[in-house]
Amino acid sequence: AQSVAQPEDQVNVAEGNPLTVKCTYSVSGNPYLFWYVQYPNRGLQFLLKYITGDNLVKGSYGFEAEFNKSQTSFHLKKPSALVSDSALYFCAVRGFMNTGFQKLVFGTGTRLLVSP
Amino acid sequence: ETGVTQTPRHLVMGMTNKKSLKCEQHLGHNAMYWYKQSAKKPLELMFVYNFKEQTENNSVPSRFSPECPNSSHLFLHLHTLQPEDSALYLCASSQEGAGGDSGANVLTFGAGSRLTVL
């Protein structure tokens, strides 16, 4: 079965510093990987995805993620954090239902707190 | 607004009440989903409708009953819930290929309905 792990409940970083939010995955075959962000009182918003190609994927709001097949990781990164980046971040991997229909399997989420 | 609207945003109900959550999308998507979000747990996929047909019931208790009258509307009927059902219920939609293999899986989520069961 497909799964993702987000080992950190919370990540604290000072504004202007680089940030990394970690994600590892477990899947048979080639992984389709995603990052979503959830701001307070909002639903999840799509940030970026990796399907194939370049291991460094660029997404919205200056975020990027690096796919590492040997380490089965897909860490989210940003060179310079903003206070407005403070939110809950979810990693996800494509999975399949018994019917063959695709679904997204999400992690537990990592809360990012950027201090001024 | 994301194009996926959920109502009500907040709901408090007793264990014997019957209520419904509503989701509406104006994106022309053909697949709709209900997810349950609880603190420090992965998002739980509850139900999926693809082209209005339910393709997945992810072992959800029968006290939750979905309804998808058309590809733009999705309901979650609630009956005899338990306090542990208190959570944020998220609706999402996506555009899936006829074979269910769009490869994109980009979901658009609503803001959620915060449910509290007393």
Beta bridge mates, B94: B31
Six-digit token pair at B58? 């992810």
pLDDT digits (tens, 9 = 90+) for B73-99: 999 999 999 999 999 999 999 887 544
Q: Are A9 and A75 in contact, with CB atoms under 8 Å apart?
A: no
User: Any idea of the CA torsion for B50, B103, A102, B93, to the nearest 10 degrees?
Assistant: -40
Burial of A58 (C-beta count, 10 Å sphere; 0-12/13-18/19+): exposed
Binding-face residues of A in 78-97 toward B, CB within 8 A:
90, 94, 97
DSSP letter at B64 equals E
SS3 B85: helix
Q: Tell me the C-alpha distance between B95 and B92, whole Å.
A: 11
For residue A91, pLDDT beyond 80: yes
A85 pLDDT band (50/70/90 cuts)?
A: very high
Q: Using the beta-carbon criterion (under 8 Å), do A107 and B112 form an inter-chain contact? A: no
CA nearest A97 in B: which residue?
A: B56
* A53: Cβ contacts below 8 Å, ≥ 6 apart: none
Q: Report, as an integer, the average pLDDT of B10-38.
A: 92
Kindly report the nearest CA distance between residue B3 and chain A, in angstroms. 11
Q: Using the beta-carbon criterion (under 8 Å), do B90 and A32 form an inter-chain contact? A: no
Kindly report the nearest CA distance between residue A44 and chain B, in angstroms. 6
SS3 B77: strand
pLDDT of the residue at A16 = 97
* B105: Cβ contacts below 8 Å, ≥ 6 apart: A32, A34, A49, A94, A102, A104, B94
- Better-predicted residue by pLDDT, B40 or A57: A57
For residue B34, pLDDT beyond 60: yes
B59 pLDDT band (50/70/90 cuts)?
A: confident
Q: Are A20 and A74 in contact, with CB atoms under 8 Å apart?
A: no
Half-sphere exposure of A75 (CA within 13 A, CB side): 13
A84 pLDDT band (50/70/90 cuts)?
A: very high
Disruptive mutation site among A2, A8, A94, A101 for chain B (greatest number of B CBs within 10 Å): A101
